[in-house]
Amino acid sequence: MSSLTGQVALVTGASRGIGAATARALAAAGAHVVLVARTARDLEAVEQDIFDAGGTATIAPCDLAEPEAIGRLATAITTRWPALDLLVINAAVLPVLTPVWQIEPRDLNRGLLLNVAATQALIACFHAALRKAPAARVIGVTSSVGASPRAYWGAYGASKAAFDNLLDAYAQEVRGMSAIRVAIVDPGATRTAMRAKAYPGEDPASVKAPEVVAARLVALASEEFASPHRERVENT
C-alpha cells in the first residue's frame, strides 16, 4: 500500500508536460487524481493512461483564466470530496519574451491572470477543503526567473515572483493554525512544450524528462518538511 492510497490530489495543467507526468505518478502512488486543464480531449488521454495503469482519476476541464471557473470547479470537487489532500498548482502561461519596454499590456495581463490571480483563487476556493485533510500539501511549480530576473523574461519573471510571494505568504499564514504545508518547486530545465517555445533550437534530449520532476513532487506529497519549503530539481 502506498502512502498516498486514499488521498485526493488536484493537479492543474494536467494535460501535458510536468502536470500530466505528475498526475500519472500520483495515481501510481495510490491517489485519486483530479485532472484540470482547458482541453477535455487531452485530459481524457491522461485519464486513460492512469486507468490503463490501474489507477483512478477524474477529469475536470476548466479554463482557470475565466473569472468564475475556479469557484465552479471547487464546488464540484468539494461536493464529492470534502477534503483535499494535495493541490499541485502547475498551470502557467509564458508571455512573449521581449524587452520590458515592448511588453504588450494584454500579454502581461494574461500572464498575471493565469500565473497569479488564478493561484490566489485556487487557494481561496480550496483552503477549507485543504484544512479538512490530516496533512495537506500545496505544491507550486515556479521558475528560476521569479527569483533571478533575466533579460527578455520580465513579464513571465514578474508573474512568477508574485506567484512565489503568494505561496510563501500563505504558508506563513496557515503554519500555526493548520497542518497545511506549502512547497515551491523550481523544476529547472525540463522537456516541456513551454521550454520548447522559449528555447526553439535546444535539443530536447539535453534536458530532463517531466517524469523526473513528477517523481520529486510525488515524494513531497508525503515528506515532512518545514513550510514554506523551496527547492530546485536539478538535471540528472
Query: 51 near 57, Cβ under 8 Å?
Result: yes
Query: 91 near 13, Cβ under 8 Å?
Result: yes
- CA geometry: angle at 139 spanning 211 and 226, to 5°? 115
Torsion angle (degrees, nearest 10) of CA 73, 85, 118, 186: -150
Alpha helices in 4-68 (DSSP H): 17-28, 40-52
In the three-class reduction of DSSP (H, G, I as helix; E, B as strand; rest coil), residue 142 is classed as coil
Q: Identify the H or E element spanning 59.
A: strand 56-61
Catalytic positions, written as ranges: 156
- CA geometry: angle at 175 spanning 112 and 214, to 5°? 60
Query: 193 near 90, Cβ under 8 Å?
Result: no
Q: What residues contact 118, with CB distance under 8 A and at least 6 apart? A: 64, 65, 70, 91
Instruction: Tell me the three cell numbers of residue 193.
Output: 512544450
Give the span between the Cα atoms of 123 and 188, in whole angstroms: 24
